[in-house]
């Protein structure tokens, strides 16, 4: 006890993992051969390390991330995409460890417009949101969902003539990640509320020795 190891800066916290004995699971960011992320728990409960391993593997599937030999997560492009990584972490912790998690498809059904909304990859990190059918307000929904994606993934928007298009600043494709963010993009306000709640809970339950 009392040993202080620099495991990086904590950027996200699940204070109580309802799928595994309410343990706290945190996401740390480090700078080791480029930005990398550590999933960590201080819990010594039996099975906790398997739970952490499950979260790491699920983040690889959902976010298209890679893991180093020591289990640190990175994006293949070498950028941190910190905001997106936090989302991948939060979503990965929403599965119980018996779940076979698959990456998300590039299409969702949008209830508000009653359209299937698809994200097309144009390469070099550039994506376009499209919707089928000709429901009323379809174009507005497409812009809103593209806006949601850019907020959630810290993506760049294009000019006003192309409100349906967004891009990652790294210029690399992140298809799995876009599929994951697409699920939440139609309702960004709820996501932001969830983030604020997690953040405030994190402050309350943060032991002083944690960074």
C-alpha span between 50 and 52 (Å, rounded): 5
Find tokens 């995409």 and name the residue: 81
Q: What are the distances in angstroms from CA 52 to CA 6, 58, 191?
A: 19, 10, 23
Residue 77 is a binding residue for Zn ion (CB under 5 A) = yes
Residue 83 is a binding residue for Zn ion (CB under 5 A) = no
The residue among 64 and 202 lying less far from Zn ion, judged by its C-beta, is: 64
Q: Quick one: tokens of 198?
A: 């997690």
Binders of Zn ion among residues 169 to 208 (CB under 5 A) are: 170, 172
DSSP 8-state symbol, 124: T
C-alpha span between 204 and 208 (Å, rounded): 10
C-alpha span between 199 and 13 (Å, rounded): 8
Pick the stretch among 30-38, 45-53, 75-83, 176-184 that binds Zn ion (CB under 5 A): 75-83
117 in Cβ contact with 52 (< 8 Å): no
Least CB distance to Zn ion at residue 171 (A):
8
Least CB distance to Zn ion at residue 154 (A):
10
DSSP 8-state symbol, 105: P
Residue 152 is a binding residue for Zn ion (CB under 5 A) = no
Residue 157 is a binding residue for Zn ion (CB under 5 A) = no
Least CB distance to Zn ion at residue 174 (A):
6
The residue among 78 and 137 lying less far from Zn ion, judged by its C-beta, is: 78
Q: How many residues bind Zn ion (CB under 5 A)?
A: 5
Structural element, H or E, at residue 27: strand 23-31
Least CB distance to Zn ion at residue 126 (A):
12
Least CB distance to Zn ion at residue 57 (A):
20
Contact string 14-43 vs Zn ion (x = CB under 5 A): ------------------------------
Residue 23, helix vs strand vs coil: strand
Binds Zn ion by CB under 5 A, chosen from 39, 72, 79, 145: 79
Least CB distance to Zn ion at residue 117 (A):
22
C-alpha span between 71 and 14 (Å, rounded): 19
Which residues contribute to the site for Zn ion (CB under 5 A)? 77, 79, 168, 170, 172
């Amino acid at each position: 006890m009392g040993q202080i190891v620099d495991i990086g800066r904590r950027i996200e916290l699940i204070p109580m993992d309802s799928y595994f004995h309410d343990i706290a699971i945190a996401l740390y960011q480090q700078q080791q051969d480029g930005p990398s992320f550590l999933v960590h728990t201080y819990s010594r409960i039996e099975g906790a390390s398997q739970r952490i391993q499950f979260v790491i593997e699920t983040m690889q599937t959902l976010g298209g991330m890679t893991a180093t030999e020591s289990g640190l997560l990175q994006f293949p492009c070498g950028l941190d995409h910190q905001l997106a990584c936090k989302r991948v972490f939060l979503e990965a912790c929403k599965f119980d460890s018996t779940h076979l998690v698959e990456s998300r498809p590039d299409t969702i059904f949008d209830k508000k417009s009653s359209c299937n909304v698809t994200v097309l990859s144009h390469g070099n990190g550039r994506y376009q949101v499209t919707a089928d059918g000709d429901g009323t307000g379809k174009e507005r929904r497409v812009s809103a969902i593209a806006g949601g994606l850019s907020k959630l993934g810290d993506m760049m928007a294009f000019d006003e003539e192309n409100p349906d298009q967004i891009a990652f600043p790294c210029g690399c494709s992140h298809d799995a990640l876009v599929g994951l963010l697409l699920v939440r993009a139609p309702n960004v306000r709820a996501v932001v509320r969830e983030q604020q709640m997690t953040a405030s809970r994190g402050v309350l339950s943060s032991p002083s020795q944690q960074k």
